[in-house]
Each structure stands twice: as structure tokens, then as C-alpha cells.
Structure 1
Amino acid sequence: MKLPLHWRMLIALVAAVVAGVLFGDSEAFLQACGMVGALFLNALKMLIVPLILAALMNGLIGGAEQGGLGKLGALTFGFYVGTGLLAILTGLAWANLLTPGIVNGLPAAPLLGLSGDANAIVAQVQEKGTQDLWDVILRLIPTNPIGAAATGDMLGLVTFGLLFGWALSQLPGNLRDTQAAFWKGVYEAMVRIAALVMRAAPIGVFAIVTGTVAKTGIAALQPLAVFMLAVVAGLLTHAFVILPLVLKLVARVPAYGLHRAMTPALLTAFSTSSSNATLPLTMDCIENKAKVPRRVSGFVLPIGANVNTDGSALYECVAAIFIAQAYGLHLSFGAQFTVVALALITAIGVAGIPSASLVAITVILSAIGLPLEGVGLILAVDRVLDMCRTALNVLGDASATVVVARLSGEDGVLDQPALKSTG
């Protein structure tokens, strides 16, 4: 029987700690680990441009094929974007409050074994233009989309991708169908390449963590533990403060009723780390226990399983801020705006691929000029956090379904009388 990825990752992590302690004095061994780790990070970088573009095109053209938004669609996407933004801002607040990248008042880069030159990294961030919000706004429109792709200017590339995808969605039926088939093929091919790269993730984690342990010992565990705490605190805040407030103020229903109805689906999401795998149970809970009509759940939940990733967006934001703090960088408002915007877009754009958050983090770090060497360390603790954020993603889908049903005037949702229809 094939060993699941999370067990292989755990074995790689333990083996890396042992190897780092036993062979930390071997220069040749550490050089080999450095080369393998660099190859793994290069493979992640390779995915960024084609995957993001294909995901955007595939999603926008697919939306047109389903008949556009309409009232139900507008409510659904409005909820997903709004709560996604709230999740990211929650993560940003916890990352700035707990400062996981700072240990005893000093940047944690030495403890984490990050080798980048902080001064050079600051200069690179400044070259990206993230120190000024106006520069960020100017970068939204690239003068050369191909150049933006080549230089990793993801803000401009995403803007172009959104515009191009929208234009393709407006084409006549036969032309749109041709483009839809092409971009779906590209997207599916990139998903397979991403899956292949992630099969090598245990090897990449072993190489990166071994080098870190050899340089710093187990001191790296302290900032990583605080990073995990920041992520979990953000997820819990969103699950038990933000979403309940939205349910109470917008849908006028108590959150405890939804939590009780969704318990089987949430436990399944936590154990499988897959919103798509949990979808049948999510639909069963939301229809039979929360009493949401199928006409609403059948539209909102499948979309949410692929685009509503509050937990992932929050995680990506905290990870980016953590790595910036570790290098001693105090990101300006413009830089943090870039992180927030890209976390929101990439959480939607790469939601359907394996370890989507890992790819999205590489996009964000590249956009603001930070090195990717910290990604391997984050990957070492990713599995447990993936379980937590998937459960939040499913809870967010369920909350969206209840809110949309209530605003559409449905009666009996969570045993509450119907709201006056907004239409």
C-alpha cells in the first residue's frame, strides 16, 4: 500500500533532523542537500506563470459557460471575496501581533538557516516597487505582459490574465469553446506537473531541513512553532468570530446551529485535507441538517469547493509576513497591500491543485522580491496546518450557502423564518 504524502513528509522531517545532527560536519553532504533543495524550489518557480494563467483562463471561461453570474452568482462571489478578504486581514493582524519571524527582538533568519543577504533582499524588495502604494497601483497594468511573466511581476501578469480571460469569455460560442478546451488542457497538464513536483516534496523537505539543522540545530523549531500558533489563531478567529458575525448580522441565524449541522463534514475535511473529497458530505449536511434547498446548495457549494479558500488565503498571508520578518524586513503598506491582493487572487486561482497554498506562497514571495528558501521550512509543518485550513474552507462554504439562501428569501434555513428577498 502506498504511503500517504503526509506520512512521507513526517518521515522526511524526522530523517532530516537525524541527518543534520549526524552529518552536519560533512561539507560534501551539505552541498548535495543544498543542490537538491535548490532544484525543488526551482521546480516550484517553474509552475507559477503557466499555472496561474491557465487557472484564471479556465475559471473565467467556465463561468461564462455556466451562464454568467446572475443574482445567485453575484451573492455567492460577493460573499466569497468579502470573507476571503476578512480572512487575509485576520491573518495579517495575527502575524503582526505574534511576529513569528522575530525571536528575542532579532530576525529569525539565522535560527531558520536562511542564507540570504538581508541588505540585498531589502534592495530587491525596493526594486519591486512595493515601498510605495502608487508604484503598486502602476504595476497593475503591465507595459509588456510577456516581460511581466519573465521577470515574475505577478501583479501585472494577474491583471492581464483577468482581462484576457474576461475577453475570451465574451467570444462567440465556437471560438470560446476552442479557447476553453485549450486552457482546460493547459490547466490539467499543469495540475499533473504540480502533482509530480509534490511527489518529490519529501525529498525537497529532507534536503532543506537537513541543511537548516546542520547550521542551527533544533533552534529553528521556536519560530516555526510561533508561526503555527499565528496561523491557528487566525483560523480560529475567522471560524468563531468573523463567520459567526457574518451569519448573525447578514443572514440573522446563530452560528452554533450551522456548526452542529456541519460537524461530520468538518471532521472529514480535517482528516482528508480536501474540500473536493468532502463535498458530497458537505452537501448532505447542508441540505438535510441545515435545511438549505438544493437549488442553492447545488450552485454555491461546488463553486466554493474550488474558489472559496479562506483558510488557505489566511495561511498564505501569514507565511509571507513570517518570511519577511525573518529577514528583518518591515513591509510598507504598499508591500502588505500586495500580499493581501495576491493572497486573495491566488487562493482562488490555484485552489484545485495539490498543495495549492505552497504554490501560492511562491507567487506572493516572488511578487514582493523575497527569496523562496523559507518555503521548504514552512512545508515541513504544512500538513497539520493544511488539515486545519481545509476545515475552515468547508465551514466557509457552508456559511456562504446559508447566507445566499437567506438573502434569496428561502424559508426554514437552520429553522429560521425567511428574510425578505433582496430581489
Structure 2
Amino acid sequence: MSLLKLKLHWQILIALVLAVLVGLIVGREAGLFGVSFYALFDFVGQLFLNALKMLIVPLIVSSIIVGVSGLGGSEHLGRLGGKTLGYYAMTSLLAILVGLTLANLIQPGVVEGDPSEVFGFSAEAAALQERIGSRDAGDVVEVFLRMIPTNVIEAAADGQMLGLIFFSLLYGFFLARLAEDRGRVQRRFFEGLFEIMMHITDLIMRFAPIGVFALVARTVADTGLEAFGPLALFFLTVTLALATHFLVVLPLLLYFLGGVDPRRHYAAMGAALVTAFSTASSSATLPITLECVEKNAGVSNRTSSFVLPLGATINMDGTALYECVAVLFIAQAYGLELTLGTQFLVVSLALLTSIGVAGIPAASLVAIAVILSAVGLPLEGIGLILAVDRLLDMMRTAVNVFSDSCGAVIIARSEGEHDVLKPRPTVSAPSV
């Protein structure tokens, strides 16, 4: 069978496996005609990421405005918005509690001997302090200030998705209330823009296997697959927590709240999950998530265009879980036992900061710095997790995207969309 005839997610998976092998073989130094393979991987991977990010602003604006303006009266918008926010708050909290439980049970940061010798706390303290800067709990307020941008054009240029989504929600809300003769032209414009963006997405996704290969090969060539040493238990704790949320919590919600077979949804989201894993960016994956949820899962554009762009910005289950485990791990590495009250503060801050974390790689490091400062832990503790952060970032982004898609399915079902994730009827051959 030709590789080009395989479904997209299988092409991407093959590219992922080949990227690991090639990255291990070529490393950072190997090259041809004076050009290193590492630089070539970096160039191609950056092209693919830039192409995906190019779609984000026009896709988010058009999809939200089309979705909200198509809801009709404020009663429908309020109901859909309430369900969406309620689902996102619930799943993020469940994810944090899963991480908190496993971090306390496994205690990955507890080591024998002097922690400073095991972890080398001061090795990256100066550089890390300069990179992260001074953070405190007051930074959480900035999350909510960013919801209302002073300049929408500047917010779009700077990629401030929270403010852009808020403006698009307002625009779509009042567009639905314009007189038909005034609103018709604008609605058709944004519907056309949204359709164009989906066509561009289809074009870019034809090159996804090449982009994924370059991105993963570059990462493996850079870091290799070295033993994580003392970080192995932390890595396993986060992986186990993410897997629990991904394989247990979310499927149970799909089954009991959505009334659908979770296995069908895993199959429907294959391409989006692999793209999320390879790019470590829920925002960059949004075009593919929309396509998978609408075409494969059967969710209407009315629901997906509202739920998914909002989720790509404020629903960060994997990120919130990771922040919680990381802070507890750092505290344990310093030999500290956090009280129940302090752990409650960690849970609350993880929930709040995960809402405003940008959907780009490594953005959660700043959120972790906020929590560390709030509970009185040194910022140099972040240096403990940098070695494994990239790979865990890829994993938690896949969880973020899957949770968004589960929300779209559950909310669509609650809105009366009964054909979501239902098997297509087979036409039997006529009997002779």
C-alpha cells in the first residue's frame, strides 16, 4: 500500500517513528555539503509551525464569530457558554486532583542524601532567575486583565488569544442582534473567511508528516534518549497522571455524560492527537482539532466553532496537572512537606494560571514560577524539570487537545446532536 494512501494519522505516526531513529543516528553534528541535518530539521520544522500559527488568528476570529452569531438568542448563547465553562472547570480540577494524589503517593522528589548534591540546585539558578524574572501571586490578576485588550489589532499581532476570544465573543453576540439587512453581509463575510481558512488548513495538513518528522527529529537529535537519572520518577509520575486522566477520567465522562463509545472518539481524534504531541502547541493544533471533531466525530460547526477555540485558550487539563505535580516535586526535592492548606493553594493557583497559559511550547514554566513564588519556594527549582519538560510538554498538550474535543462531543450531545460518534449505517447487498 502506498504511504500516500494511508490515513493522515498513520502517515504522521510513521513519520514520528522515523524521526526518532534518524534523530538518534545523525545527532547535532552530522551533515551533508556543509549543511547539518540538525539545521535542516530546524528549518523545515519551523516552516511547518509558522504555517500552522499563521492560521490561528483568522481561524479563531472567524470560527467564534460564525459560531456565536449562529446561536441566535442570548438564551442559547448563555446555555452553551455555561455548559462549556462548567465542563472546562470540572475537567481541569479533576486533572489537578489526579496529579496531586499521585505526587503525594509516589513522592518523586524524595531522595536519600543531600538534595543539593543530587539535584545541583545552584547550577542554573542565576540564568533561570534572569529568564523567568520576578513573579508573585499578583501575576494571576494579569490573566484576567488580558481578557479585555486595550487594542484588538495589537492583541492579534502579539498572539494574546484570551483577549481576542473575548472580543470575538462580543462581536458575534451583537452581530446576531443586528437587523437582517445589516447583519447578512457581515455574517456571509465571516462564513466565507472561515471556509477559506479550513481549505488552507487542508492544504497545510498534507505536509504534516514532513513537518512532524522535522520537529521530532530535531528534538531527538538535540536531547537524545539519555537516562533521566533522579528525574525518572518525576517523569513517570507525570506520565502516569496524564495517562490516568487521558485513559480513565475523560473516557468515563464521554461514556456517562456524552453517552458515546470512547473508542470511537479516540479513532476520530488520531490526527489531532499526534499533531498536538509533535508540536506541543494546542493553538497550532486547533485547525486540525476542528477538522477531526467536525468531520470524524460528527459535531456541528455551531458547537465546535464555539467550544474548541475557547478550549484551546482556557482548557489546559494536562498543563494544570503538570504544574501541580512539578511544584510538589520541587518542594519534596528541597525536603519540604507542604501542608494541606498550602496544597490547596497550589491547586487553586494551578487552576487559575492554566486558564491564561498560552497554547505554545513551554509556556507553563512561567505559570509554575508564579505558583513557586506564591508558596515561598525558590525559582531555581524550575531548573530541576527543564531536562524533561519538552517531552512532557508534548504529552500534556495531547491531553489538553483531547479534553477540548471531549468537551465538544459532550456539549454537542447535550444540545441534541444525536448523530455524534454514531456508526454509519451499512448498506447490505440485495439478496438474490
TM-score by length of 2: 0.60
Match of 1:272 in 2: 279
Cα 1:288/1:160, change in 2 over 3 Å: closer
Match of residue 342, structure 1, among 327, 331, 349? 349
Contact 2:319 2:354 in 1 (8 A): yes
- Structure 2 counterpart of 1:81, one-letter code: A
- Structure 1 counterpart of 2:392, one-letter code: L
Match of 1:90 in 2: 98
Percentage identity across aligned positions?
Answer: 51
Q: Distance in 2 between matches of 1:237 and 1:317?
A: 15
Cα 1:183/1:74, change in 2 over 3 Å: farther
Cα 1:348/1:115, change in 2 over 3 Å: same
CA-to-partner distance for each residue in 1:380-404, whole Å, 9 max, x for gaps?
Answer: 2111111111111111111000011
Cα 1:187/1:332, change in 2 over 3 Å: farther
Match of 2:45 in 1: none
**Within the alignment, does 1:179 sit opposite 2:150 as a pair?**
yes
* 1:35-184 superposed matches below 5 A: 70-104=78-112, 108-115=115-122, 152-154=135-137, 158=140, 162=144, 179-181=150-152, 184=155
SS across alignment from 2:377 = coil
What residue ranges of structure 2 are gaps of 5+ in the alignment? Answer: 1-18, 29-63, 124-132, 163-221, 425-432
- What is the CA-CA distance between 1:115 and the residue it aligns to? 4.6
Match of residue 242, structure 2, among 232, 235, 239? 235
- Structure 2 counterpart of 1:158, one-letter code: V
- Structure 1 counterpart of 2:405, one-letter code: A
Aligned-residue CA RMSD in angstroms? 3.8
Cα 1:292/1:161, change in 2 over 3 Å: closer
- What is the CA-CA distance between 1:286 and the residue it aligns to? 1.0
CA-to-partner distance for each residue in 1:314-350, whole Å, 9 max, x for gaps?
Answer: 1111110000001111101111111111111111112
* 1:186-335 superposed matches below 5 A: 221-335=228-342
SS across alignment from 1:102 = coil
Contact 2:281 2:360 in 1 (8 A): no
Q: Distance in 1 between matches of 2:351 and 2:160?
A: 24
- What is the CA-CA distance between 1:151 and the residue it aligns to? 8.6
CA-to-partner distance for each residue in 1:32-61, whole Å, 9 max, x for gaps?
Answer: xxxxxxxxxxxxxxxxxxxxxxxxxxxxxx
Q: Distance in 1 between matches of 2:143 and 2:297?
A: 38
Contact 2:92 2:320 in 1 (8 A): yes
Q: Distance in 1 between matches of 2:309 and 2:153?
A: 23
Q: Distance in 2 between matches of 1:339 and 1:288?
A: 39
- Structure 2 counterpart of 1:271, one-letter code: S
Cα 1:190/1:363, change in 2 over 3 Å: farther
Match of 2:56 in 1: none
- What is the CA-CA distance between 1:92 and the residue it aligns to? 0.8
Q: Distance in 2 between matches of 1:190 and 1:392?
A: 20
Q: Distance in 2 between matches of 1:391 and 1:379?
A: 19
Q: Distance in 1 between matches of 2:154 and 2:290?
A: 29
Q: Distance in 1 between matches of 2:316 and 2:368?
A: 14
SS across alignment from 1:355 = coil
Cα 1:384/1:159, change in 2 over 3 Å: closer
- What is the CA-CA distance between 1:236 and the residue it aligns to? 0.1
- Structure 1 counterpart of 2:397, one-letter code: T
- What is the CA-CA distance between 1:183 and the residue it aligns to? 8.1
Q: Report how many aligned residue pairs link the two structures.
A: 292
Match of 1:46 in 2: none
Contact 1:107 1:327 in 2 (8 A): no
